Amino acid sequence: MKVLIIDDEEDFRTVASSCLGLLGGDTVAEACSGKEGIEMARSDVPDVILLDLCMDDMDGTKTLASLRENPETAEVPVIFCTTKGMFPEFEEMKKLGALAVITKPFDPLKLSAQIKDILKTAGFACDQALSVDS
């Protein structure tokens, strides 16, 4: 499973990519801003994008809207990653096309499985990922 992590915090990117790569066996790409993330997603379309909601430059909502505008990335499933996890906002995000929200701090051991569960529930095929799931 190819995961793109868009987060402006380097520490988080490192930990999350380690959890996914080392523990979940996923292919992880990292982007430090919304803008970079959009570009990276266009050049190499991921299976799923883990998008931070609160970023200084271009926040998650805007990034998502931008991703949806772009035909290459319009269909890519997006999971928000936030410390807030409030329903009104989540409702908004669902309207924008986000699949779910994973709240920080997450369980490092389960992060990969959690993402796959969400994709499976939403009906996305990720056989490769599932087969890799331990």
Q: Does 84 bind other proteins (CB under 8 A)?
A: yes
Asked if 104 touches other proteins (CB under 8 A), the answer is yes
For residue 133, give the nearest of 10, 32, 47 by alpha carbon. 47
By CB under 8 A, residue 118 contacts other proteins = yes
Among residues 29, 31, 58, 102, the one that binds other proteins under rule CB under 8 A = 102
20-39: contacts with other proteins (CB under 8 A): 22-23
96 part of the interface to other proteins, by CB under 8 A = no
**Residues near 93 by beta carbon (within 8 Å), at least 6 away in sequence:** 53, 60, 61, 64, 80, 101
- The answer to whether residue 9 forms part of the interface with other proteins (CB under 8 A) is yes
**Could you say which of 3, 5, 12, 58 contacts other proteins (CB under 8 A)?**
12
For other proteins, the binding residues (CB under 8 A) are 9, 11-12, 14-16, 18-19, 22-23, 54, 82-88, 90, 94, 99-110, 114, 117-118, 121-122
